[in-house]
Structure 1
Amino acid sequence: MPDVSERYLQQWSKIEDVDDGMKPGVTQADTAELREAKKRIRLLEQENESLRRAAADLSQASLPK
């Protein structure tokens, strides 16, 4: 058996207990889902900012000179 520290085993056991619903906490699946949601939010915010800039540019271009 590879040399695995007691602390690592305890940590792994706690993660498994949370994932199995035996202990309260955030599951690995929830953590991954939250990470993906935050990534999607960042992307949408960037797209929104690009659209704002494009709209501002278009409104400036349509002003009479």
Structure 2
Amino acid sequence: MAEARRKFDREFREGAVRIVRETGKPIAQVARELGINSGTLANWVATDRRARGSDGHLSADERAELARLRRENAELAMERDVLKRSVALWVKDAMGR
């Protein structure tokens, strides 16, 4: 009779992948330590590498965050410029009195 498939929650999968990524241990060793199939862990690691863009390119999440940060940076620069002008006008007005 076939064995029932074990389900792993997202946090467990992410933790297992993080162990492989951060420690540099072989997938087989980490899988043994966690009591899971090495092929399963290898699939999780491969999925993570594709999502992270292991070829040096940004992942979709990183591109979205970069676009958001660029918009925020431009907005902050405009606000800073407005405040600089306001202070300059205030100082000019105060010196004129």
> TM-score, length-normalised on structure 2?
0.44
Unaligned runs of 5+ residues in structure 1 are: 1-16
Q: Could you state the TM-score of these two structures normalised by the residue count of structure 1?
A: 0.64
- Aligned 1:5-16 pairs, distance under 5 A: none
Question: Which residue of the other structure, out of 57, 70, 74, is the alignment partner of 1:42?
Answer: 74
- From the superposition, tell whether residues 62 and 29 of structure 1 become closer, same or farther in structure 2 (CA, over 3 Å): same
Distance between the aligned counterparts of 2:87 and 2:79, measured in 1? Answer: 12
Describe how 1:1-65 pairs up with structure 2 within 5 A.
18-19=50-51, 21=52, 23-24=54-55, 25-64=57-96
Structure 1 counterpart of 2:65, which letter? E
d(CA) in 1 for partners of 2:68, 2:50? 20
Quote the sequence identity (%).
17
Offset, 1:18:
3.2
Count of residue correspondences: 48
Q: List gaps (5 residues or longer) in structure 2.
A: 1-48
Q: Which has the higher contact order (CA 8 A, sep 6+)?
A: 2
**Cα root mean square deviation, aligned:** 2.0
**Aligned equivalent of 2:14:** none
Give the CA deviation at 1:38. Answer: 0.3
Q: 1:62 to 1:22 in 2, by over 3 A?
A: closer
* Structure with greater Cα Rg: 2
